[in-house]
Amino acid sequence: VVSLRLSKTIVLVGLMGAGKTTVGRRLATRLGLSFVDADAEIETAAGRSITEIFEDFGEAEFRKGERSVITRLLKGRPLVLATGGGAFMDPKTRARIKDIGISVWLKADIPLLVERVGRRNTRPLLRTGDPREILTRLAAERYPVYAEADITVESGGGPHDEVVEDIIAAL
Ligand code: S3P
């Protein structure tokens, strides 16, 4: 555990498959902070899986729930918080993350993302077509916005622990 006295929550952003949850868990352990996965919190709050929330209520309602869960978590004690890939795209959610947290973009290449999400395709946004095409389109839309994060770290297919060390070095 490194001794860094952080008073802000570290918020991981980036596309599906970039490693936010795995890297976030390990980063939290290294920093002696708790780890929270925003998607898991949303599922608990809704009593439904992300897929069911999309099916039953639609994406717009999911985004509202996502915003309120992330806002609540940001107001609490410092954590490492992994967010779903769309969270930072919502202007209000992004403003709150930028105000209260330290944002970290885990940037990864499309082939790597495709390989990772293909292993277990439970993401509603990727079920409507070819994951490679969808991720390519999402990257084009989202990368300019993710680039507004405070820190950008390449999540290039190497060991997740390297990414963790790169984030610590950048803090
Ligand atoms: C989404 C990403 C997912 C989840 C939802 C929507 C997105 O999270 O929040 O399916 O818009 O990119 P992960 O990035 O953790 O897969």
User: Could you report the per-residue pLDDT of 114-139, keeping only the tens digit for each?
Assistant: 998 876 667 999 988 899 999 999 99
Q: Which two tokens stand for residue 74?
A: 């940001």
Q: What is the CATH number of the domain that holds 138?
A: 3.40.50.300
Rg (CA), the chain: 15
Residue 105 domain-assigned? yes
- 125 Cβ inside 6 Å of ligand 1: yes
pLDDT at 120: 64
Atom from ligand 1 closest to the CA of residue 14: 14
Say if 5 falls within a structural domain: no
ipTM: 0.96
Tell me, yes or no, whether 15 lies in a domain: yes
Residue 100 belongs to some domain of the structure: yes
**Domain region containing 18:** 10-170
Q: Is 95 annotated to bind ligand?
A: no
Q: How far apart are CA 143 and CA 164, in angstroms?
A: 21
| 152 assigned to a ligand binding site | no
Domain count of the chain?
1
Tell me, yes or no, if the pTM score tops 0.80: yes
Q: What is the pLDDT of residues 66-94, one digit of tens each?
A: 999 999 999 999 999 999 999 999 999 99
Among 123, 125, 135, 136, residue to substitute to test ligand 1 (most atoms within 8 Å of Cβ): 123
Within a domain: residue 3?
no
With cut-offs at 50, 70 and 90, classify the pLDDT of residue 156. Answer: confident
CA neighbours closer than 13 Å in the CB half-sphere of residue 146: 25
Cβ(24) – ligand 1 distance below 6 Å: no
Answer whether residue 1 is part of any domain: no
Residue 49 lies in a domain: yes
Number of the ligand 1 atom closest to the C-alpha atom of 125: 10
Tokens linked to 107: 């940037």
- 123 is annotated as contributing to ligand binding: yes
Asked whether residue 111 is assigned to any structural domain, the reply reads yes
